[in-house]
Amino acid sequence: MRLIVGLGNPGPQYARNRHNVGFMAADAIARAHLFSPFRKKFAGEFAEGAFAGVRAALLKPMTFMNDSGSSVAAAARFFKVPAEDIVVVHDEIDLAPGRLRVKLGGGTAGHNGLASIADHLGADFMRVRIGVGHPGDPDRVADYVLSDFAKAEREGWVEKLLAAIAAEFPRLIAGDEGGFMSRVAAALRPPKPLA
């Protein structure tokens, strides 16, 4: 059993925020792999499915970002999933928009959702870091991540990236982190011009 967590904040006012790209990814994964409809459970929205025979649960904590750990811990306890079998998908300001990195364990880099999960479960979970860029000024970070993606971003790299993450997610679950990252990156590269 694998537990996949998409981080975000509940409510329509946050739905298109950069900080909610984890929720967006969870929705894309659920659609692409025909997971059950989301239902309320574990102080979040929860769906079940599988990747090539590996049972999986998708969770979108509805506790607000700063308390995501309580929802994740409840689901992890229920399914008896250890931290190393949890994958957390989240926004990352230290990566350029559209870049993606996978990392097991490590610090939280000031991300309150990751910090909350680490407080409840320790730091040994996998992170799928989706780059949303940095506003350039540390004092503007909170407003930046809580602002919506521009329409050009949504219709450009955001939709392409989410589709690629969803399509390639079985590779990640199978343990091929490098293949997952390279296939997602390849999906975002513009096509080569014909000779």
- Residues with a catalytic annotation lie at 19
Written as one string, the DSSP assignment of 53-109 is: TEEEEEEEE-S-GGGHHHHHHHHHHHHT--GGGEEEEEEETTS-TT-EEEEES---T
Token pair of 111 as six digits = 């991300």
* Helical residues (DSSP H) of the chain, grouped into ranges: 21-32, 68-79, 112-121, 141-145, 151-153, 159-173, 177-188
Q: How far apart are the first and last CA of the chain?
A: 47
Token pair of 151 as six digits = 């329409």
Token pair of 74 as six digits = 């409840």
